[in-house]
Structure 1
């Protein structure tokens, strides 16, 4: 079976809704709401068609598709610039140290500050793979295709790129972090707050959340224990991000306390190591060629896949079957990144 990644279309709504219903909650970028998903697909279509010189609140949704059947196996997205329509809020973990000469004691206390430090950065998110397909590197293909898209359209993204990992969610769909902090100020359960955020943005956080630092020691143990830790199902995604050069720098999600990973775009491994070249030669088999991540096309014609290739004097060597599958001929440009 051959899988490839391509831009989402507005007629993908039913498939996208099916995926959203499998997430189990906590995926702000993939709400299981038909109207909300239809708006996101329309936003994405407009972004692909838009002439852009600098990033300005565009959304690019990608789908994983099986070439032989048209089956949709997963989705992921890129936001060109966060903090445009409403501020992008995070909690920043800090430290306050206080001393008493009389008691001869010093206390170091961890704090949470409400900040907008990532305003203007790009974001990769909304990565979800059908549970039956979490094998054979399809998640890696879907995740890394976003970075090839960024490399292919560098002018459409900022200098930094972040990824928010889902924090710990209970089997019942609750969040210990939200229960220990946010719920005290908003009077609503996590699922309701998360759903409201996915539909309307998080400006209500700025309206109601106190602006002074929150002392972590005052939170219940259940909340403190999950700060900065991804949900167990998100650990593979965290490892993929770390392999690309993303790092956790003390910023966590305001709803579930999950970690925010960040990198400068030019330091993302797939962006840094990718190279665009013409197809210089076609071979009858992949024998002797090296595994590679490949992409071709721009904007709505973009597609990425895991294949095989090598270099020759005229550019890239590709298997003829792959070239036919992806509509390539000698001389066409392909972006290559090591597998």
Structure 2
């Protein structure tokens, strides 16, 4: 259980992950209950992801290739890792990025005087080349006091500071509904029938090995939603109960649901243009001028790549520049972006 001191917002900072965070990330992965492809409960897989993230931060680029940047939420006084998130510079490079696109089919019989409408799922690669924000997971004890907002919005200021490394379109996948035992009604009602394995097994395999097996075995023809079990239909396009807050945060940033769902659990995929993300659009560049004794809480981020830091801290603008609280992870002269929190 988090103490009141641990919940003090200004004591937390978002920064790039490193190998020293492996134990903290593994502890978080054990709490997810499955369905988090970007945070596998496998130490070797996590270590490989951190190594890939390190290489991504170190790469010299003028355009997105296939990078994965992992961020962690750290409690500065104790070093505790309370959450994580990540950004993918360009999806669909190493293997195809599959989604189901939900459309509506309408059929009418004049003789019967009836009109029948049903959803139809089409297997598509419509997001090829887009960037993705994902992997957001916050320790259950810390889901209060603005820490989730800090973690989620840090990704957008990272985008704002590294525009050349990302695409013009940004997507976010939300985990779909799951039963108490960790199984997925959507998986059981559709994809599971073609793979001969349960959701948890398929999810773990995908997290470690990638999703080429989807291309090999997933049915290529459109699927009529009316043919699915009722429980799978009800899950389609709806996030997990624990994902409702994340959905609201995405909507507040301008992300929308346009009929795309995850092929594993049926959770919604939301997207927008990078330039239209509210935090990116409203972020103000500034130079840190010194310390302020007071000020409103603002989201402040600065530093390139491995030096990136983001915090929600007291800040006040002055003629000399931006004045920050004494414990801010920035120094006088640093160039930062800041936005209302």
TM-based fold match above 0.5: yes
Q: Which residue of 1 aligns with 2:303?
A: 297
Please state if 1:215 is matched with 2:224: yes
Contact 1:281 1:312 (8 Å CA) reproduced: no
Question: Do structure 1's residue 113 and structure 2's residue 122 form an aligned pair?
Answer: yes
Mapped partners of 2:80, 2:112: distance in 1: 68
- Answer whether contact 2:290 2:331 (CA < 8 A) is retained: no
CA distance in 2, matches of 1:317, 1:17: 37
Distance 1:280 1:173 in 2: 50
1:316 aligns with 2:339: no
Query: Would the aligned equivalents of 1:44 and 1:59 in 2 still touch at CA under 8 Å?
Result: yes
Question: Which residue in 2 is equivalent to 1:328?
Answer: 331
Map 1:31-70 to 2 at 5 A: 31-70=40-79
Over residues 64-95 of structure 1, what are the superposed CA-to-partner deviations in whole Å (9 max), with x where a residue is unaligned? Answer: 11111111111110000100000100000011
Report the Cα offset of residue 184 of structure 1. 1.3
Equivalent runs, 1:182-261 vs 2, <5 Å: 182-261=191-270
Aligned to 2:340: 338
CA distance in 2, matches of 1:282, 1:209: 57
Deviation at 1:110, TM superposition (A): 1.1
User: Is the CA contact (8 Å cut-off) linking 2:17 and 2:70 kept in structure 1?
Assistant: yes
1:176 and 2:182 matched: no
Deviation, 1:104, is 3.8
Whether the 8 Å contact between 2:13 and 2:75 is mirrored in structure 1 is yes
Shift of 1:281: 4.4
Matched, 1:123 2:132: yes
C-alpha deviations, 1:104-123, integer Å up to 9, x for none? Answer: 43322210000000111111
- The answer for unaligned runs of 5 or more in structure 1 is none
Distance 1:327 1:107 in 2: 60
TM-score in terms of structure 1 length: 0.95
Q: CA deviation at 1:136?
A: 1.0
Distance 2:136 2:246 in 1: 9
How many Å separate the matches in 2 of 1:100 and 1:242? 39
Comparing 214-223 with 183-192, greater Cα deviation is found at: 183-192
SS of 1:225's equivalent? helix
CA distance in 1, matches of 2:145, 2:228: 41
Matched, 1:273 2:303: no
Q: Which runs of 5+ in 2 are unaligned?
A: 1-7
Q: CA–CA distance in 2 between the matches of 1:227 and 1:109? A: 13
By how many angstroms is 1:327 displaced? 4.2
Total equivalences in the alignment:
332
Aligned 8 A contact 2:288 2:330 in 1: no
Cα deviations across residues 18-73 of structure 1 (Å, max 9, x unaligned)?
A: 11111010101011001100000000000000001111110000011111111111
What is the TM-score when the length of structure 2 is the normalising length? 0.95
C-alpha RMSD of matched pairs (Å) = 1.2
TM-aligned CA deviation for residue 313 of structure 1: 2.2
**Corresponding residue SS for 1:30:** coil
User: What is the alpha-carbon distance in structure 2 between the residues aligned to residue 109 and residue 169 of structure 1?
Assistant: 23
